Amino acid sequence: MLKMDNVTKKYRHRGEYVTALDNASVAIDKGDFVSVVGPSGCGKSTLLLMLGGMLSPTSGRVLFGGESIYDLNADDRAGLRTNNVGFVFQTFNLVGYLTALENVQIPMYLAGVDDAIQEERAASLLDRVGLGDRIHHKPCELSVGQQQRVALARMLANDPALILADEPTGNLDPDTSRQVIGYFEEFNQEGKTIVMVTHDPRAAARAKRTLRIKAGKIVASDQSRGQLHVA
């Protein structure tokens, strides 16, 4: 489903080039659940953004379903993200002046879904994550854990085949973290492919695979359960 072929990403910083990802090659099969671990600044988030079509490589190719993402024009790449990829972030990225329901509707609005269908599906997704009685609450009226569950519901809005999560439990207490990872396991059991960046070893252990990165290089893959291959 996902493949990186000899991908390098370099940034220019204060007149010098910094290598964020160094000649990385990896293949992730449909239905896998991969955690990505490593020290801060090692290239984990860079890898995630590239897999999601949001950050072009300096060299190499990123493929989704056999199609080279960065050979697409900007509009087609945005369409691929809208229709196939759901993102979850540590900071939630909810719109403060919108209700939970309206936040979940955003991806469907951008995809041109009918208003009535947007509202019905958003309410159903919020109910799924235990927030059926909070649909008209704004983010400031919700706990941190509830805000992350709104973000999970929003991520599911367009029924993505691929979920990319960047430290989804980073701001959560242990009990809420376990609950959120439990939702990811449910989504994976339903056939969704998940790539999750995390510093939490307990969260990483719940995935099928753990991909380890050091100084921009993929250095190891724990192959206990799923179908992740490092080339």
Residue 84, pLDDT above cutoff 60: yes
| Residue 69 contacts residue 62 (beta carbons within 8 Å) | yes
d(CA 151, CA 94): 7
pLDDT 10s digits, 31-47 = 999 999 998 888 899 99
Q: Quote the domain boundaries for residue 31.
A: 2-230
| Residue 15 DSSP code | T
Contacts of 194 (CB under 8 A, 6+ apart): 32, 33, 34, 162, 163, 164, 165, 184, 187, 188, 207
Q: What is the pLDDT of residues 116-155, one digit of tens each?
A: 999 999 999 999 999 999 999 999 999 999 999 999 999 9
What pLDDT does residue 227 have?
Answer: 41
H or E stretch covering 46: helix 44-51
* Number of domains within the chain: 1
Residue 34 identity (one-letter amino acid) = V
**Percent of the chain whose pLDDT exceeds 70:** 96
Predicted local confidence at residue 226, as pLDDT: 40
128 by Cβ neighbours in 10 Å (0-12 / 13-18 / 19+) ranks as: middle
Per-residue pLDDT, 92? 87
**pLDDT value at residue 219:** 85
CATH number of the CATH domain containing 223: 3.40.50.300
Please give the pLDDT value at position 223: 59
pTM exceeding the 0.85 threshold for the entire prediction? yes
pLDDT band for position 170 (cuts 50, 70, 90): confident
